[in-house]
Every structure is written in C-alpha cells, then in structure tokens.
Amino acid sequence: MSTFRVALSLAHREFTRFMRQPHRVVGTVAQPLLFWLFMGAGFSGSFKPPGMGQISYLEYFYPGIMLMMMLFASIFSSITIIEDRDAGFLQGVLVAPVSRMAIVLGKVLGGTAIAMVQTVIFTIAAPFLGLHLGLASLVPLVAAFILTGVGFSALGFLLAWGMRSTAGFHAVMMVFLMPLWMLSGALFPVTGVPWWLQAVMMINPVHHALNVIRAPFYAGPQTLLADGHYLLSLAVTVGWAVLCLVVSMLRVGKREKGVTPIPVGTAAMQPAE
Amino acid sequence: MILIDRLTHVYPGTRKLPPRTAIADLTMEVREGEFTILSGPNGSGKSTLFRILCGLALPSGGRITVAGHDLFAEPAKVRRILGVVFQSPAVDKHLTVAENLRIHADLYGLSGRDFAARRDEALAWTDLGGRLEQKVDTLSGGLARQVELAKVMMTRPRVLLLDEPTTGLDPASRRNFLAALHRLQKDKRMTVLMTSHVFAEADDVDRVAVMREGHLLAYDTPQALKAMIGTEMVVVQPADPEAFAAKLRDEQGFAVRRHGDEIRLEETENGEGLPMLERILERYRPEIRSISIRQPGLEDVFVHITGRAARDGAPSETPLQRTGSR
C-alpha cells in the first residue's frame, strides 16, 4: 500500500515537472502531430494497402502516431534518470526507506500519465477521420494507452538505468527504440513486406501494442474479446510491460558491488586474530 | 553508532585499467551523538565510503553496522534512521520548496498533521519562511542548500551523512549552513558524519578522520591532531626551496618539510619559533622571500599527515609571486 502511495507521489512529481516546462509540452505534442499531418497528407494519394479497402493513410497512420507519442513521452521521462541518479533528485529517493518497486512504478506511471494526456487529447481527431468510437470502445482504448505507456516507460527505465551519459541514451533511442516503432506496423502494414521483415515485425512486441491500440477503433469490446489475434497481442503487450517492470525493479535493487581484492602479500593481509 | 569493520572496496578493472582499491581494510567507529568530519585528498576513498554508508554500493569485504543494524543485510532498517545530504542537489529544481518537502515526506510515510508539524519544525531555523511557493531554481545557492537540510531534518534522522555539503557556497552562506548544522546536531543529539575539504569547518567538531589511499591515517579530536605538529611552526619561502631545505637540514639540523614553495619547520613548541626565525634570518636573509610563525591549523595537520598540500584548501597566507622570479 505504501509502495503505491510513494509511487503516486513520484509520478505526480514527474507530471508536474512536465507541465512546468511548456517547451516540452509543445515539443512532444507538436512533433507527432506534424509527422502525422505531413506524412498522412503526402502518402494518402498513393497508399493502397492490400486487403485494407478504402482506408486513407491519414487514418492508417493515426494509431501509429499515438504509439509514437507513447514512445516519446517515455523516452523523455526516462532520460532524466541518467542525471538524476548520480547527481540529482533520485539520489535522495534511493536512500529513502521505500521499496525499489515504488521507485520504478513512480517513474513509469509518471511517464504513462504524460503520454496519456497527449493521446487522449489526440483521440478527439478520430471522428474527423470517420472513425466512430463508441463509449464502450473507450475502455479497451484507454486500457491500451495505459498498457503501452507502462511498457514503453518501463523499457526506457531499463535502458536508462545502466547509462552514464544522455548522449548514449540518444544513440540507443535512434538504433533501438525508433526501429521498434518503425517495425511495429505504424508506418506500413505487415502484409506485403518481405518475409524476413514480416518475421521481425511479428516478434516485435511494439507491433502487438499497436494492434491493441488500433483494434478498438474498428471493433467493439465483445468482438475484440472473441478475437484470437487481439487476445494474443494483448497478452504479448501485458507480458512485455510486466517483464520490463520486474527487470527494472531488480536492476534498481542491485547495488554496485566491489570486486574481490587480488590476494597479494600486502600489509592488509596480516592475520586478523 | 556507526561501526566500520575491516572494510575493503575494490573497483572492478576494465580492459585498460587494473582493479583499483578505494578502501583498504578500514576500521573505525563513529560514536553516538558526535560530529565527525571525514577528510582526505581527492581519491582518498572518502566518497566511496560515503556511497557505501548510504547503502548505494556494496563493498568487497567487511561489515558496517549502524545503530546495531547490519547495513548490508538490513538496508531498509538503516534507511529509516539515516538522513543524507548529497554534494549535488537532490531536490527537484522545477518544483517549489513546499512540493519538494511534500514528496520527501511521502517517501518517509509522513502525512497529515504529523507532516505539517515536522515541516514547520524543520523550517524553523531556515530563512525559507516566505519562499515556500517559490521554485527551487529561483533560490540562491545558500537557500537551496537550506532546503536540502530542512528536507532531511524533517524525518528526524538519528544519523546524518553529508557529502561536502558546502561546496559552491559563498563564505557567508557556508558559515550559516554550518552554524545551523551544529545547532541541530546538538539539539537533536544526532550522530553526524560529514566529508569536507575545508578545514575551517573542522575546528569545532568532535572528531576528524583523515583518509588517504583507502587507509585511515588519523582519527582524533581537532585539538589532539593539532598537537601532533606542535603549537607553533616556522614557514619560510625561499627563492630556491630545494637547495634551501637541504641547507637548513644539513647546516642547522632542523627537521624540515617541503610543501611546494614553502619550507616548514613543524613540531616547534611555544616560544621556540621566534629564536628559530631570528637564526634563519640572520644567516640566510638574501635567500628568503618571506618568513613567518604560524599557529598550526587543521589544514597544516592535514598537509603534515597526507604529505602533500591540499588542492582545494584555502589560499596560503603569503601570496605567491611568480612573475620574474626566475
């Protein structure tokens, strides 16, 4: 119980911090939005995915952009870990009598909350795309946002924890996190790509997260819960989030340990008794 | 209160660097209710010891108990009685003073009336009165430090660890901070261990520990440490320190110590300094740029013990003249 209270307090801090930095708010909202508008408008004319009927690229790309918002929000909240841990706020948290899970959850829930604000606002665009979202569909959609947010934030946490410099984190983001997003099906569908790419995409957990976000726009909760593909994607997304959380917690709990001294004949080697 | 028993810490080597021993077989006891300063040159192992004491790192070997609890086996129990002030700020500068205190209270499970009372108590000695709603990054360095200390005091720690807490403060802020710290330590009967380079800070503490290369070189009261090098010392600045040191040693039979441009004649008892000074002046006047008698301070003890000048210490009392000397 106290773990959860501490986590909420830390998450609240994360959120307040975000809202106090207007350029961060503008940046994280505007970038995906511009991406969506420009790429959506640009590709709409030529985009004819096999077996997807009359879907415009603007519409196809819409859940992918939501996923990108999740990715960015988690990255921005994890990046502070690197500096905070050795020379900042986290130092004080680490020496406090709180469970290590609370530290991870605080960061992850904070990142998720930041991402949620953006994606929920972005959901307003759905009717303009001709997507009719019933109230019942909002439940699986919001659940999908939370799950994906937790998954990405926990993954970001895990990556950032072992880092010494923010520059290193940018590198990891470009060669690891961005490709995960690119190969999720956010930019192009899984169908019609070379077999090897399809294989990579299918084992990419972010692909399943995208499915979980996309599905509620096209089917009601009952249909979803009867759909094997959806349930598989849901299971993968949940598994990914839980795994990252647990591994993060173990990492935080692990204190750096000195190595065993080399036994050389020094003065320190005199018998103790 | 803090028992350190045969502590050893070795940092793992890398492909290019061999493993490095930061703490070597260190045994010491910090007594309950005492204010202890831990000093030592850079790389002496004091920061490593600090990290281990906070529970952020595990040593290669040895044991530490804090208030009877094994720090490595029961970190959670020790965390509850520990307060830590880090060298770099551990407050969130985008949040207000009140928000920072609130989060810290949450971490230690303080809430409601309890929290309000503790907060007022912790803020009582500070100058933060009208600034609770100000963001920390709008405060001066001195005030920001007060937030750190107030935050930690709120949880009423029995043991307070501070890592060079006055780094970057101007002299007035530094004095304020230390005065408050001393007052709080006495009022609450806290056990305080503070690392510091600044020896002006060590004069009115209970005990000073000096580390070098992972070993404890000295650990005693400031008075006892000062007595180690006599009550007076003669400090000479000759034109050629190397040759002059040899001369004093060979021709006068003085025990000399060279520190950079200075030659020091330590372990001089009261009243012996002046005749020595006269003797030196009489014979070597042309070779000497300056000469003085000093009461040894803790910085001199530190220099004596560690065998080299403290890098970040206060400037020496005679300004060096380097231009055109050679």
Q: Taking CB atoms and an 8 Å cutoff, what residues of chain A touch B107?
A: 6, 9, 92-93, 96-98
The per-residue pLDDT for B42 is 83
Question: How much is the pLDDT for B112?
Answer: 86
Q: Are B289 and B324 in contact (CB under 8 A)?
A: no
Q: What dotted CATH number matches B229-306?
A: 3.30.70
Confidence of residue A273 (pLDDT cuts 50, 70, 90): very low
Distance from CA of A248 to the nearest CA of B (A): 16
Q: Is A49 within a domain?
A: no
Is A261 a domain residue? no
Pairing type for strands B2-11 and B159-163 reads unpaired
B55 contact residues in A (CB cutoff 8 A): 95, 255
Q: Which two tokens stand for residue B302?
A: 């530190």
Quick one: pLDDT at residue B176?
Answer: 87
Minimal Cβ distance to B94: which of A10, A21, A257: A21
The reply to whether B229-306 shares the fold of B2-225 is no
Q: Are B262 and B237 in contact (CB under 8 A)?
A: yes
Structure-token pair, residue B10: 């070795």
pLDDT tens-digit readout, A243-266: 999 999 999 988 888 887 665 444
Q: Closest-CA residue in chain B for A85?
A: B90
Per the listing, tokens 């260190």 go with: B26
And the tokens for A124?
């307003």
β-bridge mates for residue B122, sequence order: none
Of A87, A89, A272, the CB nearest to B91: A89
Which residue shows structure tokens 């895990």?
A158
Among residues A149, A151, A126, which one has the least CA distance to residue A62? A126
Residue of B nearest to A88 (CA): B90
Q: Beta strand B191-195 with B159-163: parallel, antiparallel or unpaired?
A: parallel
Tokens of A80: 């502070």
Write out pLDDT tens, residues A194-227: 999 999 999 999 999 999 999 998 888 888 888 8
Give the strand pairing for B82-85 and B159-163: parallel
Summarised one tens digit per residue, pLDDT across range B231-250 is 788 889 988 888 888 888 88
Residue A40 near residue A61 (C-beta atoms within 8 A):
yes
Contact across the interface for B90 and A255, Cβ inside 8 Å:
no
Shortest Cα distance, chain A CAs vs residue B51, angstroms = 10
Print the domain residue range for A72: 2-44+55-254
- The reply to whether residue A20 touches residue B76, judged by beta carbons under 8 angstroms, is no
Interface contacts A/B by beta carbons within 8 Å: 109
Chain B: give the shortest CA distance to residue A5, in Å: 7
Contact A258 B22 (CB under 8 A): yes
pLDDT of residue A265: 42
Question: Mean per-residue pLDDT for A133-145?
Answer: 88
Tens digits of residue pLDDT in B203-222: 789 999 988 888 888 899 98
pLDDT digits (tens, 9 = 90+) for A85-100: 877 899 999 999 999 9
Residues from A contacting B (CB-CB < 8 Å) are 2, 5-6, 9-10, 13, 16-17, 20-21, 86-98, 255-262, 268, 272
Per-residue pLDDT at B314 exceeds 70: no
Of all residues in chain A, the one with the smallest CA distance to B22 is A258
Query: Considering only CB atoms, which chain A residues are within 8 Å of B104?
Result: 92, 96
- Name the token pair of A51: 């077996």
**Of B47-56, B187-196, B217-226, B293-302, the least confident:** B293-302
Mean confidence (pLDDT) of chain B: 85
Contacts of B114 (CB under 8 A, 6+ apart): none
Report the residue from A2, A16, A97 with minimal CB separation from B95.
A16
The CATH number of the structural domain formed by B2-225 is: 3.40.50.300
The pLDDT value given to residue A1: 56
Residue located via tokens 């050893």: B8
What are the residue boundaries of the structural domains of chain B, listed by start?
A: 2-225, 229-306
A268 located within any domain: no
How far are the Cα atoms of A71, A181, A237, B120, B199 from residue A229, in angstroms, in the given order?
23, 20, 12, 58, 70
If one counts every other C-beta atom within 10 angstroms of the C-beta of residue B326, the result is 6
The answer, yes or no, to whether residue B99 has pLDDT greater than 70, is yes
pLDDT tier at B323, thresholds 50, 70, 90: very low
H and E: helices and strands count for chain A: 12, 1
Contacts of B326 by beta carbon, 8 Å cutoff, 6+ apart? none
Contact A17 B94 (CB under 8 A): yes
Q: Decide: B244 and B263 in contact? Cβ < 8 Å.
A: yes
Count of structural domains within chain A: 1
Let me know if A29 is exposed, middle or buried by CB neighbors in 10 A (0-12, 13-18, 19+): middle
> Which among B59, B80, B94 has the least Cβ separation from residue A258?
B59
Q: Which of B84, B2, B86, B75 is CA-nearest to residue B36?
A: B2
Mean of the per-residue pLDDT values of chain A? 86
All residues at 6 or more sequence positions from A31 whose CB lies less than 8 Å from its CB, including other chains: A72
Residue-wise pLDDT for B116-170, tens only, equals 999 998 898 888 888 999 999 999 988 999 999 999 999 999 999 999 998 888 8
pLDDT at A112: 92
> Greater confidence, A222 or B65?
B65
Which residue in the set A6, A255, A272 is minimally distant from B56, CB to CB? A255
d(CA A26, CA A14): 17
Q: Does B101 score more than 80 pLDDT? A: yes
